[in-house]
Chain A
Amino acid sequence: MAIEVRIPTILRTYTDGAKAVDASGATLEELIGDLEARHPGIKARIVDDGKLRRFVNIYLNDEDVRFLGGLGTPISDGDTVTVLPAVAGG
């Protein structure tokens, strides 16, 4: 089961410059674990102390996972996961 994970510019040093990579997992936590196995070092930039880092947003099919189930959010085949740093608007 492959899920497309979109990687922001600042984390592409871990993915050889790839904008999107494949990973698998039944939950977001498993997905990030698989991502780490394929691209060592990336997990620590996304997760800190078992929680999403404060300035990192992750979207499952465009919905913020903090409002779904956090790292426990279930993921299904065909979903898209997007990682983005938090930026200001206004």
Chain B
Amino acid sequence: MRFDSLIESVGRTPLVGLPRLSPSADVRIWAKLEDRNPTGSIKDRPALWMIEQAEKDGLLTPGCTILEPTSGNTGISLAMSARLKGYKLICVMPENTSEERRQLLRMYGAEIISSPAAGGSNEAVRVAKGLAAEHPDWIMLYQYGNPANWRSHYESTGPEILDDLPTVTHFVAGLGTTGTLMGVGRYLREQKPDVKIVAAEPRYGELVYGLRNVDEGFIPEIYDEGVLTTRYSVTSADALKRTRDLLATEGIFAGISTGCALHAAIGMARKAVQDGERADIVFVVADGGWKYLSTGAYEGTLDEAEDRLEGQLWA
């Protein structure tokens, strides 16, 4: 495979079978390896689509400053593109995100503004919206509300999956901005009306839900519940256990949000076996485990790892 630049190499990631974690020859689980993107996460797709849409719309011109609330991966993807295309980048990041993400962003030349840990990404969104109002010349791409986010998956991730696995029956991914599920979900549903679209939502420690009242909750503007078949809440303990199982049984070293999606995928596989149905279940490996080593997720007992992860944003 040859590309004219790093940006051109976004997407076309491998889909690999998991013969040991799949329960039978009729019920198979497949991993879409999004860690094989240029900056190591699925966010390279929405970041590139959002930047290119803003360029087409005339909002972004060389020298512009991009502002984005992000827990890390979207920021890293934007930072790479920004460096190659000549933009400045300011990321608003919750304090409780891993050190590796911060180091990578600084290395790419991005400026980081920290938002309070309590409230998680909700607070990052609030702070970024305030900054955008104060600095009308900064361009906030705003992954939570930008249709180019889900469109990147509608136009690339979804078609890749169907090309590689025309017999796909389930698609499972982590729920954050909801872009992956909205885009792949809409594409697959159009092509295969019976496909099941399953969201795996990380359930964090209590600190992250530390809102002052329920009306401060946040639902991304691009979220459309009608695209999903169902939605599961996955605890840090289950996500960690599956992340380790994936490495131990299939050799894949993935980030913790991948364990979250795998947990839901295995649940779907069990259900298909119980119901005596054939299934080809695709789940997303959103990133590799490298950026989470400092969280201690891969060392010691599961209980110790879970304690260390308490209060951290791991997806």
| Chain A positions near chain B (C-beta within 8 angstroms) | 8-11, 45, 53-57, 59, 62-64, 66-68, 82, 84-90
Contact = CB atoms under 8 A, between A and B. Distances in A.
Q: Pick the 10 closest A-B CB pairs, nearest first.
A: A55-B217, A89-B176, A90-B176, A88-B121, A90-B177, A64-B231, A86-B217, A67-B230, A88-B218, A85-B217
B34 interface: no
A90 B233 CA distance: 15
A8 B109 CA distance: 39
A54 B217 CA distance: 8
Given A8-B209, A10-B211, A87 B217 contact: yes
A10 B209 contact: yes
Given A63-B231, A63-B232, A66-B231, A87 B209 contact: yes
B229 to A, nearest CB: 7
A57 B210 CA distance: 15
Contacts of B199: 64
Interface of B: 70-71, 74, 119-122, 124-125, 143-144, 174-177, 179, 199, 201-204, 206, 208-220, 225, 228-235, 315
A89 B174 contact: yes
Given A56-B217, A67-B231, A90 B211 contact: no
Question: Chain A interface secondary structure, helix, strand, loop or mixed?
Answer: mixed
A45 B213 CA distance: 9
A89 B315 CA distance: 7
Contacts of B119: 87
B219 A55 contact: yes
29 contacts: A8-B206, A9-B206, A10-B212, A10-B214, A53-B214, A54-B219, A55-B218, A55-B219, A56-B217, A57-B233, A59-B232, A63-B231, A64-B201, A64-B230, A64-B233, A66-B225, A67-B229, A67-B231, A84-B233, A86-B218, A87-B121, A87-B204, A87-B208, A88-B125, A89-B174, A89-B202, A90-B70, A90-B121, A90-B220
A85 B144 contact: no
Contact of A89 (B201, B225, B232): B201
B209 A88 contact: no
B203 A84 contact: yes
B122 A10 contact: no
Given A85-B217, A89-B175, A90-B176, A62 B206 contact: no
In this complex, which of B70, B71, B219, B234 has the most chain A Cβ atoms within 10 angstroms of its Cβ?
B219
A88 to B, nearest CB: 4
Contacts of A56: 214, 217
Nearest to B225: A66
B120 A62 contact: no
Contacts of B125: 88
Contacts of A85: 209, 211, 214, 216-217
Contacts of A59: 232-233
Nearest to B126: A88
Contact of B122 (A11, A45, A54, A88): A88
